[in-house]
Chains A and B, each alone.
Chain A
Amino acid sequence: GQQVMQIPQYQHVQEGEDFTTYCNSSTTLSNIQWYKQRPGGHPVFLIQLVKSGEVKKQKRLTFQFGEAKKNSSLHITATQTTDVGTYFCAGTGNQFYFGTGTSLTVIP
């Protein structure tokens, strides 16, 4: 069956450092969505990418969708303590497939 793998599982960074999480699918995706879940909270939708090679930015966050529409990445520039949480990708083929998430810890 379709799988969406996400790496790394955990990442600790010093405040101000950059952070990247990667999402890889075994099959071609229709689109990809990214969600953020704060500790003790619920997943919150961040963005959706649809086109091959698409790049979108939200302030310090940059999202990319691979040319083959099988992978995606989320890059955070100059992390802040408010970035703490777990970042999930969700690829859509014939249903949503959530990745395992990357848990980000930012050390002040």
Chain B
Amino acid sequence: ETGVTQTPRHLVMGMTNKKSLKCEQHLGHNAMYWYKQSAKKPLELMFVYSLEERVENNSVPSRFSPECPNSSHLFLHLHTLQPEDSALYLCASSQVWGHNSPLHFGNGTRLTVT
């Protein structure tokens, strides 16, 4: 049972659609992350929020827009995506933002862009 919940589990969208991924953590953590997992590639860090402030943005295209309204919730807004954006999008949280703090991942959203 994960303390990080992601919805939806699966999403199919056209290139002109707008959708949002949602993440909620029930662990009382202060940092939240979005990762992209594609086949045969390392996990790619997209965004980091610490205490609701964005602290890292790893050259992610503007068609991905994160939002962190409070320390328990994280969204990833998607618009005009490309087929190569199809991947598993994983949300994670950690107690604090820092390099000794283990990540707790959600189950992910499997995104397919048609």
Contacts and interface: CB of A to CB of B under 8 A. Distances in A.
A100 B42 contact: yes
DSSP class of A's interface residues: helix, strand, loop or mixed? strand
A43 B42 contact: no
B42 A4 contact: yes
B2 A98 contact: no
B45 A48 contact: no
Interface residues of A, number: 24
A100 B41 contact: yes
The 10 closest A-B pairs by CB, nearest first: A92-B99, A98-B43, A45-B102, A42-B105, A98-B42, A43-B105, A100-B42, A42-B107, A30-B99, A42-B108
Given A42-B2, A42-B90, A42-B108, A48 B102 contact: yes
B100 A43 contact: no
A95 B106 contact: no
B56 interface: yes
Interface of B: 2, 40-43, 45, 56, 90, 99-100, 102-108
A48 B98 CA distance: 13
Interface centre among B41, B45, B90, B99 (most CB of A within 10 A): B99
Contacts of A50: 100
Contacts of A98: 42-43
